[in-house]
Structure 1
């Protein structure tokens, strides 16, 4: 693996840059209890570069081992940093630079790729260039050599990426789908010059995420949801922060790995917050992008292709994690109906044409005894009848559902439907506990004409409410505010509501009474506005009719 200024390094790489033999590194590791511990990255044992540099910093090189250009007192840390081209990463990313680069890269420069219908390939090429620039800048000249000599960089980039990531980095969208054209090559060469402005890994990590988010919003309903909306994933991660610190975290439908990065990544910090992040997906492209994203942010990870999820069919054995964070596809049809129906689902077989509660069950089955999960669900999963009603009844009877948070519509660029967060735990075996409900459909504010975001205030208030719930669930009385309300419901109350988990159903029992005067005034203003719009609509209809009839 090329070492460069990568955030992780092998034992051989340490020996190379410290100017010692490979056995000397093994001796350091064996004899010194404070030597940095390896982490699993892409299936290989590697070490955090900054931890190795810090450990080597106070260790002076013996006089008889100094190089001709090294003065007495030079440390192995000095030699290691100089040889590997590593500098102290105290620079935070510059958001303005990331925005400028993203606008240029996805604007006119992308036009040849849009014209050929290969936007997906272009985006993956950009992400790969940003990844190499930030993770292994010593490979940058190799990565861009073909570009500067009038050739396609696809295969040289693929080799470098595979060297850095292993199997996770192999392949391209549609295997590149034919040679790139001269206009495409020119745009990519210009893109390479722009990406050269990146000088450190945190900036590359920031641009990487912004490219994904910008492209997702630009495509809207025409494209796939490459990332979970930033304000939603921030809420999920902040809620998870109220739970015991996990040693590992799992996302069974990882998209670009953004939830794992949000929780475990420290692009400007000094090491990961989890021992292992596991990203699974049925999509090879998502796997490649997630691997680059996780490695660029310094998160120890493992990725896998799992075509049958949320079914357990074909898995080698039970695997349990401390924390599951996931945003699976809404109302996904089972692509392997027979296998899907055969699965021994612990709470009931989901409908073949809707896997929502299959993902819920998979998340629960993937937890350690004390583990917990936060899953994004379409609203319909909380109230649809038939098989799904029976599954909800069994989930609640087993004490699996800790809470449901209803969020406003418009958070996603690919759909306008509202969503809920389901907070889950392993079955307790005790009598069904109470459930925490939050109706936050009025939260957030419009960021663009079509996209809504949760504000920092929304996130902090909802997290504080969750903290109050966890501190004393039996004493929790709920809260009512203009933007959201919370409540607690017993199993008997939920059963009486036919196991519907729509938070609005349980809001009448908590908080102060509704201000009838304010509500009446608001309804009066709405009626006046509707009347005005009705008159205006009639005027427009009349004008259209005159035009259609050819009247002057």
Structure 2
């Protein structure tokens, strides 16, 4: 299945981005297999049918090609995640991270993802820039651990508007890559979903980018590497496991030092069950370049948002994603503003009193001192009726979106 999807992705990309090569494929479909180094001989029977079908049914626009590529990539990621123990970034999460980062502005001139998987986050950033009518960054770079992901990432990023993305091979940990000196303190925006959950192994002296402390945690290795890449006015969006916000020992000390240095701007809690194969809850850490003194931190608790798309998987509708993005982009960066029940800005003193835990639910959710809120039965009944209507509306929109996706995939024999 994954080989067939990879073949489809490659052909959709070429048809959209390289018309001259597509003419060659239309005349000699087997040349596509040579170009992509497709080792599976069974692909020969598929490629003739696919090329002929696509040639007879060209996309109406480049935007349609991009949408088709995104749908196919989501299927590929879900299939590959089960086989390769990977956790690709869901489209809804990619959009929240990218739109929030772009919304704080200005648009980056130099954009980087140090673990860009299939390029989903870099592509989402480019989409967010286009939505605002901005100009795509001139310098876009990323690192991936394997050649297959490297090819997919390059195709994906180009389809989303990058002209010459620089995607290179790199390890699953920052490690002090060969190009580190070229990135140090020079990146306007970093957006990434790094691997987490395992120990960080190192034998020699601690890396130079460990500004906030020695760690055996892969997550805090990555987070310190990201900070070291930021230009003086740079920002970053990093997907982190929820546990990184409250685990103790060395991780607590690193969080404390990051707060004291003014690096953490916002921590946003996402719902659980957004990822294929795991119910893990994740947070987005929005970071800024160090300023040398503590600042207020915005906490956004979106853990109760979203709807169940399947029995085991949740998705974030556009309305919920928009609430999260606006909670961050509308914050002035000062004061103790926020939206009751969703977000709240917290001063460094209160964070210190909470043992430097960065868990949004700890600061946003208000404990009810009494049951007075439930005394008005008529109001409660009206509220339940309103919620029922909203749920039905969301289900209807989900069914319409599923039907549209199924129609697009039908064109590719899926």
> What TM bracket, shorter-length normalisation?
0.7 to 0.9
Q: 1:361-400: per-residue Cα shift (whole Å, max 9, x none)?
A: 1111111101111111111111112221111111111111
Distance 1:268 1:206, change over 3 A: farther
Is the Cα–Cα contact under 8 Å of residues 110 and 189 in structure 2 kept in the other structure? yes
- Shift, 1:201, TM fit: 2.8
Give matches, 1:8-19, under 5 Å. Answer: none
CA RMSD of aligned residues (A): 3.2
User: Counterparts of 1:434 and 1:271 in 2: how far apart (Å)?
Assistant: 29
Distance 1:248 1:511, change over 3 A: farther
Q: Does 1:446 align with 2:308?
A: yes
- Shift, 1:144, TM fit: 5.2
The structure 1 residue matched to 2:281, chosen from 406, 418, 426, is: 418
Query: Paired residue for 1:331?
Result: 197
Q: Does 1:348 align with 2:208?
A: no
The structure 2 residue matched to 1:489, chosen from 343, 346, 363, is: 346
User: Counterparts of 1:448 and 1:490 in 2: how far apart (Å)?
Assistant: 39
Give matches, 1:340-419, under 5 Å. Answer: 341-343=206-208, 345-351=210-216, 354-419=217-282
Q: Which moved more, 1:364-373 or 1:224-233?
A: 224-233
Query: Paired residue for 1:282?
Result: 145
Is the Cα–Cα contact under 8 Å of residues 251 and 326 in structure 1 kept in the other structure? yes
- Shift, 1:341, TM fit: 4.5
Distance 1:403 1:518, change over 3 A: farther
SS of alignment partner, residue 233 of structure 2: strand
Q: 1:212-242: per-residue Cα shift (whole Å, max 9, x none)?
A: 1122235564445474211111111221132
SS of alignment partner, residue 181 of structure 2: coil
User: Counterparts of 1:318 and 1:512 in 2: how far apart (Å)?
Assistant: 54
- Shift, 1:499, TM fit: 1.3
Distance 1:344 1:268, change over 3 A: closer
Q: Does 1:297 align with 2:155?
A: no
SS of alignment partner, residue 421 of structure 1: strand
Distance 1:519 1:302, change over 3 A: farther
User: Counterparts of 1:283 and 1:248 in 2: how far apart (Å)?
Assistant: 23
Is the Cα–Cα contact under 8 Å of residues 296 and 333 in structure 2 kept in the other structure? no
User: Counterparts of 2:358 and 2:130 in 1: how far apart (Å)?
Assistant: 38
Is the Cα–Cα contact under 8 Å of residues 190 and 235 in structure 2 kept in the other structure? yes
User: Counterparts of 2:251 and 2:134 in 1: how far apart (Å)?
Assistant: 42
Query: Paired residue for 1:307?
Result: 171
- Shift, 1:310, TM fit: 2.0
Q: Which moved more, 1:192-201 or 1:230-239?
A: 192-201
Query: Paired residue for 1:154?
Result: 33
- Shift, 1:488, TM fit: 2.2
SS of alignment partner, residue 256 of structure 2: helix
Is the Cα–Cα contact under 8 Å of residues 278 and 303 in structure 1 kept in the other structure? yes
Greater Rg by CA = 1
User: Counterparts of 1:365 and 1:511 in 2: how far apart (Å)?
Assistant: 42
Query: Paired residue for 2:89?
Result: 228
What is the aligned length? 373
Is the Cα–Cα contact under 8 Å of residues 175 and 207 in structure 2 kept in the other structure? no
User: Counterparts of 1:298 and 1:418 in 2: how far apart (Å)?
Assistant: 31
| Structure 1: runs of 5 or more not aligned | 1-109, 111-118, 159-171, 523-552
- Shift, 1:408, TM fit: 0.5
Is the Cα–Cα contact under 8 Å of residues 25 and 31 in structure 2 kept in the other structure? no
The structure 2 residue matched to 1:501, chosen from 358, 361, 383, is: 358
User: Counterparts of 2:121 and 2:102 in 1: how far apart (Å)?
Assistant: 13
Query: Paired residue for 1:122?
Result: 4
Query: Paired residue for 2:323?
Result: 461
- Shift, 1:142, TM fit: 2.4
Give matches, 1:34-49, under 5 Å. Answer: none
The structure 1 residue matched to 2:21, chosen from 117, 136, 139, is: 139
User: Counterparts of 1:234 and 1:124 in 2: how far apart (Å)?
Assistant: 23
The structure 1 residue matched to 2:62, chosen from 184, 201, 219, is: 201
SS of alignment partner, residue 133 of structure 1: helix
Query: Paired residue for 2:181?
Result: 317
